[in-house]
């Protein structure tokens, strides 16, 4: 619990520091921006003063130093406009487009939006100097945007880092719970196996004892399934038809008679490398979900087909169906349409088939009110190299 609190505090601290740094940089950028704007304004006012001085004073040599200062401004685009709006002179714009009236009018409109004009008077005439921001000002304008994008990327990386840690911690927790569950089930299972042996020695119907033993063995399989969560299972070559039929038969004998079960296969032997306990878990999950979707009444069909390299297992029901928009969501942890349940069955099934067996599982088709078909694809072992009889 304290570890989670420390992570939460670390998140808040990192976010707070990040925003503080960005705020400081943005504030300094704003200060620089205002300072450069003021400096450019001062340059343009000096330029305007030079024009007035040289325009009103015929003795140019007397003011040569002032002229040189004005000429030194070679980075601020500006346009000199007469009192009636006629463009008189152009400075620091594209030299190839100084004769393009449309281009000059566009630049003049931009200058009018950015800065107030500077009025100059000489020889009884009034003119206005319009100017826009230099390239340096433009770069400062886009700098905060780039900084915010970098911050966003930085925060996204932090989020993914902490989120992956959280997911890893949750997976570790679920794995620990599963293994502990398997361990806890193991003790009463050993006792139950002893009681089954005692029952066999008593004058009790062997049919009842056999059924009890079958269920005890099933509990043992379930415990083994939980013990394998979180570790890479060993895959051995087995007959997929027989393993699928065993899971199918187990649920058929323990389901309502109102559910019609149908099993079809194109071959009696289809060799596949798999873990029998985990694969059987997937088949049971899909059939149980189908029974729940039909509310205990309908038809379930399991069909196995193959091509040269793969085997296809189709599990169909006549239940309520799944909206197409939720075909992918049904495999996410926690997704369920039941009033009770944690929504882990299909998520575990996907992990078992795709992560452990390198196959595929997906909703092949579904229609509301008519039913759903799940498809599992797995790599089969060529019969020429198979050891399965």
91 in helix, strand or coil? strand
Tell me, what's the pLDDT at 303? 96
Question: What's phi and psi for 293, nearest 5 deg?
Answer: -65, -30
Judge whether 41 and 196 are in contact, CB under 8 Å. no
Task: Report whether 243 contacts 280 (CB < 8 A).
Answer: yes
Q: Identify any residues that bridge with 80 across adjacent strands, giving them in sequence order.
A: 89, 129
The answer to whether the beta carbons of residues 43 and 131 sit under 8 Å apart is: no
Helix crossing, 2-56 with 64-71: angle to 10°? 140
Residues of the chain with pLDDT under 50: 1-3, 60-68
Contact criterion met (CB below 8 Å) for 333 and 343: yes
The pair phi, psi for residue 167, each rounded to 5°, is -65, -40
pLDDT of residue 296: 82
**Quick one: pLDDT at residue 264?**
96
Nearest to 287 by CA among 242, 333, 256: 256
Picking from 295, 292, 297, 286, the residue whose alpha carbon sits closest to that of residue 259 is 297
Cα 329 from Cα 362, distance rounded (Å) = 11
Pairing mode of beta strands 259-265, 298-306: parallel
- In tens, the pLDDT along 344-359 reads 678 888 988 998 899 9
> Within a 10 A sphere around the Cβ of 258, how many other Cβ atoms?
11
Structural tokens at position 116: 């107030």
For every residue of 255-287, DSSP letters joined together read S-TTEEEEEEES-S--EEEE-HHHHHHHHHHHH
The whole-number pLDDT of residue 318 equals 94
How far apart (Å, rounded) are the C-alpha atoms in residues 282 and 297?
21
Judge contact between 107 and 78, C-beta under 8 A.
no
pLDDT single digits (tens) 170-192: 666 566 666 666 656 766 767 77
Residue 66 CA to residue 135 CA, distance in Å, equals: 25
Is residue 148 within 8 A of residue 22, CB to CB? The reply is yes
Confirm whether pTM is higher than 0.75. Answer: no
| Amino acid 170: pLDDT | 60
Report which of 146, 134, 110 is spatially closest to residue 38, judged by C-alpha positions.
134
């Amino acid at each position: 619990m304290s570890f989670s609190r420390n992570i939460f505090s670390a998140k808040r601290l990192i976010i707070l520091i990040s925003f503080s740094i960005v705020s400081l940089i943005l504030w300094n950028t704003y200060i620089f921006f205002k300072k450069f704007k003021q400096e450019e304004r001062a340059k343009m006012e000096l330029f305007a003063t030079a024009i007035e001085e040289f325009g009103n004073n015929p003795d140019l040599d007397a003011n040569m130093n002032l002229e040189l200062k004005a000429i030194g401004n070679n980075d601020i685009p500006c346009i000199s406009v007469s009192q009636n709006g006629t463009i008189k002179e152009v400075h620091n714009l594209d030299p190839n487009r100084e004769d393009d009236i449309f281009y000059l009018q566009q630049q003049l409109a931009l200058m009018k939006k950015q800065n107030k004009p500077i009025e100059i008077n000489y020889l009884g005439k009034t003119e206005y100097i319009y100017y826009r921001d230099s390239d340096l000002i433009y770069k400062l304008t886009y700098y905060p945007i780039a900084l915010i994008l970098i911050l966003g990327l930085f925060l996204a990386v932090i989020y993914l880092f902490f989120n992956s840690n959280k997911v890893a911690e949750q997976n570790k927790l679920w794995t620990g719970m599963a293994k502990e569950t398997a361990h806890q089930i193991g003790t009463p299972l050993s006792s139950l196996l002893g009681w089954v042996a005692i029952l066999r020695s008593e004058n009790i119907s062997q049919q009842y004892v056999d059924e009890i033993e079958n269920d005890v063995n099933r509990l043992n399989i379930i415990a083994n399934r939980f013990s394998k969560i979180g570790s890479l299972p060993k895959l051995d070559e087995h007959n997929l038809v027989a393993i699928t039929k065993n899971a199918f038969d187990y649920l058929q004998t323990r389901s309502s008679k109102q559910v019609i079960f149908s099993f079809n296969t194109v071959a009696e032997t289809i060799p596949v490398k798999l873990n029998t306990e985990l694969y059987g878990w997937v088949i049971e999950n899909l059939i149980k979900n189908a029974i729940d979707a039909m509310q205990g009444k309908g038809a379930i069909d399991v069909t196995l087909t193959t091509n040269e390299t793969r085997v296809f297992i189709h599990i169909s029901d006549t239940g309520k169906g799944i909206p197409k928009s939720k075909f992918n969501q049904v495999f996410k942890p926690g997704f369920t349409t039941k009033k009770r349940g944690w929504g882990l069955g299909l998520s575990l099934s996907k992990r078992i088939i795709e992560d452990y067996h390198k196959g595929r599982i997906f909703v092949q088709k579904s229609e509301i009110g008519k039913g759903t078909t799940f498809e599992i694809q797995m790599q089969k072992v060529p019969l020429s190299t198979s050891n399965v009889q």
